[in-house]
Amino acid sequence: MLCDNCKEREAIINLTQVEHDSKVTLHLCEQCAQQKGVETGGAVMKSPLGNFLGALGKGAALVPAGTDGVRCPACGSSLRDFRDTGRLGCDGCYVAFDAHLRDLLRRLHGSSQHVGERYEAPGEAGAEPDPRSRLLELKAQLRRAVEGEDFELAAELRDRIRVLE
């Protein structure tokens, strides 16, 4: 769809305003949106998730630079694919990109810890998930965070490990 304002460039932003009694939606390109005072957050706005983040007023970059090459071993999609489409490739991506996703989930939802219904897949042990496996997982995350020089995350993981221990 072309931009409603310049009618030249591709529209990437839907700007919805309530004027008088009716809702008006303008389809705008990045440049015209910026002229109208909309914070676009650059390339982030090109993905559906970008629109969501923009709508939340948090146009921060989804994916830190320099990590585009990391690929999910299960489905082969990269963080760049995620940034372009706003969609993950498979359930394995949540493990492969967990540090980035944890950060993103916090920005989106205010938390990354699921507290709703616990699920056990058919055939799994009927007991509560073993806290030891959780601890091992956190330690693995901590190692990855330190390797990736994400010290803020590392400090937080260390705190959580201390609580569990």
Partner 1 sequence: MDLSLLPDGGMRWLDAAGPKSTIVLSTRIRLARNVRGIPFSQRAKDSDRTAVVERVSEAAASTEHLASAVAFHLDQMDRTERQLLHERHLVSKELAGLERESRPRAGAALLVQDQVGVMVNEEDHLRLHGMWSGFDLEDAYAAVESVDAELGRLVPFAFHPEFGYLTSCPTNAGTGLRASVLIHLPGLVLTKEINKVLQGLSQVGLTFRGLYGEGSEVVGNFFQLSNQTTLGKTEDELIDHLGKIVRQVVEYEEQARDVLLRTAPEEVEDKTWRAYGLLKHARRLSFEETMNLLSGVRLGVGLNLLPGPGVYTLNKLLIYTQPAHLAAMDGRSTGDRELPTVRAAFVRRLLEAEPS
**By CB under 8 A, residue 78 contacts partner 1:** no
Candidates 42, 91, 143, 155; binder of partner 1 (CB under 8 A) is: 91
Residues 6+ apart with CB under 8 A from 28: 3, 4, 5, 11, 12, 13, 14, 15, 36, 38
With both helix axes pointing from N to C terminus, report the angle between 98-109 and 48-55 in degrees, rounded to the nearest 10: 40
Three-class secondary structure of residue 44 per DSSP: helix
Candidates 48, 61, 64, 159; binder of partner 1 (CB under 8 A) is: 48
At residue 28, φ and ψ (nearest 5 deg) are -125, 150
Range in contact with partner 1 (rule: CB under 8 A) among 13-21, 32-40, 142-150, 151-159: 13-21
Dig out the tokens for 50 from the structure: 């970008």
Candidates 113, 125, 127, 162; binder of partner 1 (CB under 8 A) is: 113
Cβ burial, residue 51 (10 Å; 0-12/13-18/19+): middle
**By CB under 8 A, residue 101 contacts partner 1:** yes
Residue with tokens 């629109």: 51
Query: What does the DSSP 8-state code read for residue 127?
Result: S
Q: First vs last Cα of the chain: how many Å apart? A: 55
**By CB under 8 A, residue 73 contacts partner 1:** no
Candidates 60, 87, 136, 140; binder of partner 1 (CB under 8 A) is: 87
Range in contact with partner 1 (rule: CB under 8 A) among 5-13, 36-44, 114-122, 144-152: 114-122
| Least distance from partner 1 to the Cβ atom of residue 60, Å | 14
Binding site for partner 1 (CB under 8 A): 14, 18, 21, 23, 25, 48-49, 52, 55, 74-75, 77, 85-91, 94-95, 101-102, 104-105, 108-117, 119, 121-123, 129, 134, 137
